Chains A and B, each alone.
Chain A
Amino acid sequence: MSLENDPLLNISNSILNPYIEDWQKSNKKVIGYYCTYIPEELLHAAKLLPFRIRATGTKDTDLADIYMVRFTCSFVRATLDLALRGNYDFLDGFLVCNSCDHSRRMFELFNLKVFNRENFNKKVPQFYLAIPHVITDEGFEWYKKEVEELKEELEKAYQIKEITNEMLLESINIYNENRKLLRNIHNLRLQEKPKLTGSEFLQINIANSSISKDIANQELNRIINGLKNRKPIDVSNKKRILLVGSIVDDIYFTQLIENSGAFIASDFLCFGTRNFNDDVQLVNYDDPLENITKRLYYRLSCPRMMDDHLRRLDFLKEEINRAKVDGVLLQRINNCDLHGCDNMLFTHELKELDIPVLNIDREFYQSDTTRLQTRIEAFIEMI
């Protein structure tokens, strides 16, 4: 099986895709979001298509630079740039949370400058979800209320009589199945003779976030069946790498790594393990929304959770063993404080465990390819 021109993976190369067009033709809505801390199952149960906003393929951020100073995250700037050019006009809703200082300000900027543009006449409902920055019982109660309020707001905005428990339970099953399928594919790249590359796996994850999970599950099953018959990839002369840090939504970066003598055997990314590692546990059938919120809140965290660094470190250690990696590549998009600070701690902690580490900063868009390649090649040679 070749994944090269696979229709699912191709979705990852552009923003819009045929599935979205079909979805909207049948009068269904698409809601854009930035961060994996939002309750996707709730949106799915409301028959909305959650679309994870990204900026795949962007080469500069001229338009967005008017509104965001240069020391803001170049990924977020790139998404705004696309939006100002009209690439996100297809959205029928917009959900932002306070994941980081850069992305949370998109609420205002989309409101004032994107959805309020001249000749843009669609009314796009906007929603905001406030997430605690620590993992505590009190924080959970706060978050639960936020999600409950979001449910009411969605019902009102899209004139849904009620998002019932049955609908939520059905969505939970579909999403749990989706995460299981992603874990199965992840296992196929973890092994000594992997069936797919890190770049291919990234494409699958990106595509998965851009279409309805009902369709995605069929597609992922198709991919798994195909991979079973695929010849393993020869990675015997490559170094196995764990890729960690800021958002990666473009295979230009993973290909750059994999063309430098590495194989990305695993990752700790939000278009990766962080998104499918944990399932919703149905502990309380009477309150599926609570179960959804529990997973979101207590799952494998990202650095926005300031008191959970050790659990993240533990995950890295486990994954280093599981994927039998030779080294860890920590990366942050320039100006990303959250991953930058977490990576700083990881660097020292992993070095103490004698695990080779490279900690790099990069622009989101493809501007410093040569510098990056040189550093990565040097690291690969060294380990």
Chain B
Amino acid sequence: MVNRVEMENRIIPYKMLYEAVASTQGLVDGILPEHGIPSLKLGLGHIKSVMEDFIIKAGEGLPIIGHHFSFPTEYLYCFDCVPVCIEGTSYFLAALLPNGSEPYYDLITHWGHPFHTCTSQKGTMGMTLDDLFKFDAIITPTAPCDNTYASYPFFKYHKEIPLITPDLPFLKAEKSYRYHAQEIKLGLEKLGKIIGQEPNYNKLKEILELENQVTNLEMEIFELKKATPCPVENMFNVMAAAAQIYLAGREEKLEFYRQMLEIAKFRYKKKEHHAGEEKIRSIWPYMIVFFDLAMCEWLDRHLGMSILFDIFNYNFADPINTQSGLETMLYGMAKKAMEAPMTKQSAEFYYPFIENCVQLAKDFSADCFIFTSHIGCKQFGSVPQILREALRDEVGIPMLLIDLDVGDARFASEKIIREKIKLFAQTLL
């Protein structure tokens, strides 16, 4: 007989996150006017219901599979399991709890983990060190960065959690997709053996078809953002990133995007801005600040600054072909994984990134870029100056560079960051 509480206690931080989502949603519903920040209201509602479902499944004893976001959550749905995104947990707790994931960053840092590594892993590492997570297995590609593939062996060698590491090669070319497709397949097979299940590719096919529908909706919203004023509020970027992880492969995700597309179309027709007036159109080629998500709304309302998109919201892969057999489907999965935010940049030289940014700036009539230089991201450490020069020379717009840790306010606090943006905005107006 399964002891439900014991089983649920394998994912205590996930439950903490659920509580945080539920109470934030309660607050949002209670305080905000009916049409205030719809992405937040809708997104939290959907996330809450999916999380609830997974907590029930954990209680029933389904295996808990940790994964890096570079191994898309929906790929794990070929199993009956509870997927937990290592990075998502660290950062959404950082967003929703008063002290964020800081105690867990400290725990693992005191254990000897280098201070300059990425907090997106650090949080969950600290939680696992403290036995708050009990993963049955973890799967991560060898991407997108040194931080990642250097951090994950901790789970294997210290906590003795089976770790599966499909290799993700540098360089995006036909041979790379084929290689990674093979690695995904081998990885899923290995994972299946560990948890005593066969990968169910038919079920996966359905999930991928649903995700294809989402991609089409995403593209439509993306197109609408070209309009001035931008018909989508800044908070949408956050909720879209959360949906990518927490709603992956679920009807709720489709519903969320349908609802958001309707809202965007409505505002587009009326030339309406979520917070009144759009004064500055900014692109954040890297991440938003996870420990201060309220900043999104602050930018909309106080500075009239739209975040057209951040790194999690401008990378789109082609829909996956699910109709031509397993090999083709796996190929599409590999391609999609290699197009994912950060992974994409880790598998190519940075020229396409610079070219994309310049093109996006033009297509979306951006007034400026804000580059959050996150301490963990060494792969991006030599990009900002080159990007700044390209934007200046080819588009004639400035870029603000902020050194920070997107998951830890102690590196650069929200006050400092907001102040920098405010001063920068003044130079633009």
Is the pair B378, A101 in contact by a Cβ cutoff of 8 Å?
A: yes
B386 close to A (CB within 8 Å): yes
20 contacts between A and B (CB under 8 A): A66-B385, A67-B385, A69-B381, A71-B116, A104-B379, A107-B349, A109-B386, A132-B169, A133-B149, A133-B165, A133-B168, A138-B179, A307-B165, A309-B156, A337-B116, A341-B114, A342-B150, A342-B153, A344-B114, A361-B114
Is the pair B146, A337 in contact by a Cβ cutoff of 8 Å?
A: yes
How far, in whole Å, are A186 and B403 apart by their CA atoms in the complex? 44
Instruction: Give the distance to chain A from B115, nearest Cβ to Cβ, in Å.
Output: 8
Q: Identify 7 new A-B residue pairs, CB closer than 8 A, beyond the known A337-B114, A341-B150.
A: A66-B385, A67-B386, A130-B171, A131-B170, A138-B183, A309-B156, A337-B146
B298 close to A (CB within 8 Å): no
Contacts of B381 in A (CB 8 A): 68-69, 71-72, 101-102, 105
A6 close to B (CB within 8 Å): no
Contacts of B183 in A (CB 8 A): 138
Contacts of A287 in B (CB 8 A): none
Is the pair B351, A101 in contact by a Cβ cutoff of 8 Å?
A: no
Of B149, B158, B182, B349, most A-chain CB atoms within 10 Å = B149
A163 close to B (CB within 8 Å): no
B112 close to A (CB within 8 Å): yes
Contacts of B149 in A (CB 8 A): 133, 306
How far, in whole Å, are A142 and B145 apart by their CA atoms in the complex? 20
0/1 string, B186-223, CB within 8 A of A gives 1: 10000000000000000000000000000000000000
Is the pair A138, B186 in contact by a Cβ cutoff of 8 Å?
A: yes
Is the pair A69, B182 in contact by a Cβ cutoff of 8 Å?
A: no
Contacts of A128 in B (CB 8 A): 171
How far, in whole Å, are A56 and B163 apart by their CA atoms in the complex? 39
Q: How many A-B residue pairs have CB under 8 A?
A: 142
Is the pair A345, B382 in contact by a Cβ cutoff of 8 Å?
A: no
Which residue of the partner chain B has the closest CB to A109? B382
Contacts of B170 in A (CB 8 A): 98, 104, 130-131
0/1 string, B87-117, CB within 8 A of A gives 1: 0000000000000000000000001111011
Instruction: Give the distance to chain A from B122, nearest Cβ to Cβ, in Å.
Output: 11
Instruction: Give the distance to chain A from B7, nearest Cβ to Cβ, in Å.
Output: 29
Which residue of the partner chain A has the closest CB to B381? A72
Which residue of the partner chain B has the closest CB to A141? B179
Is the pair B165, A134 in contact by a Cβ cutoff of 8 Å?
A: yes
A334 close to B (CB within 8 Å): yes
B313 close to A (CB within 8 Å): no
Is the pair B114, A134 in contact by a Cβ cutoff of 8 Å?
A: no
Contacts of A86 in B (CB 8 A): none
Which residue of the partner chain A has the closest CB to B149? A306
A108 close to B (CB within 8 Å): yes
Is the pair B382, A67 in contact by a Cβ cutoff of 8 Å?
A: yes
Binding site for B on A (CB under 8 A): 66-73, 98, 100-102, 104-105, 107-109, 112, 128, 130-134, 136, 138-139, 142, 145, 303-304, 306-307, 309-310, 332, 334-338, 340-345, 347-349, 359, 361
Is the pair B167, A105 in contact by a Cβ cutoff of 8 Å?
A: no
Given A68-B382, A345-B157: A306 and B150 within 8 A (CB)?
yes
Contacts of A112 in B (CB 8 A): 386
Q: How many residues of B contact A (CB 8 A)?
A: 47
Of B154, B157, B381, most A-chain CB atoms within 10 Å = B381
Contacts of A72 in B (CB 8 A): 378, 381-382
Interface hits, B143-161 → A, CB 8 Å: 145-147, 149-154, 156-158
Contacts of A340 in B (CB 8 A): 113-114, 116-117, 150
Interface hits, B49-99 → A, CB 8 Å: none
B45 close to A (CB within 8 Å): no
How far, in whole Å, are A107 and B170 apart by their CA atoms in the complex? 13
How far, in whole Å, are A104 and B146 apart by their CA atoms in the complex? 11
B227 close to A (CB within 8 Å): no
How far, in whole Å, are A343 and B150 apart by their CA atoms in the complex? 10
B282 close to A (CB within 8 Å): no
Is the pair B116, A334 in contact by a Cβ cutoff of 8 Å?
A: yes
Is the pair A335, B378 in contact by a Cβ cutoff of 8 Å?
A: yes
Is the pair B378, A309 in contact by a Cβ cutoff of 8 Å?
A: no
Instruction: Give the distance to chain A from B380, nearest Cβ to Cβ, in Å.
Output: 8
Which residue of the partner chain B has the closest CB to A106? B382
B415 close to A (CB within 8 Å): no
Given A69-B384, A138-B182, A138-B183: A344 and B154 within 8 A (CB)?
yes
Is the pair B349, A335 in contact by a Cβ cutoff of 8 Å?
A: no
Instruction: Give the distance to chain A from B199, nearest Cβ to Cβ, in Å.
Output: 18
Instruction: Give the distance to chain B from A308, nearest Cβ to Cβ, in Å.
Output: 9
How far, in whole Å, are A102 and B381 apart by their CA atoms in the complex? 8
Instruction: Give the distance to chain B from A126, nearest Cβ to Cβ, in Å.
Output: 10
Is the pair A341, B117 in contact by a Cβ cutoff of 8 Å?
A: yes
Contacts of A68 in B (CB 8 A): 381-382
How far, in whole Å, are A332 and B146 apart by their CA atoms in the complex? 14
Residue from A104, A338, A348 within 8 A of B158 (CB atoms) = A348
Which residue of the partner chain A has the closest CB to B141? A133
Is the pair B151, A341 in contact by a Cβ cutoff of 8 Å?
A: yes
B128 close to A (CB within 8 Å): no
How far, in whole Å, are A134 and B167 apart by their CA atoms in the complex? 7
Of B158, B351, B382, B383, most A-chain CB atoms within 10 Å = B382
Is the pair B186, A108 in contact by a Cβ cutoff of 8 Å?
A: no
Q: Which 4 A-B pairs have the closest CB atoms?
A: A340-B114, A133-B142, A341-B150, A72-B381
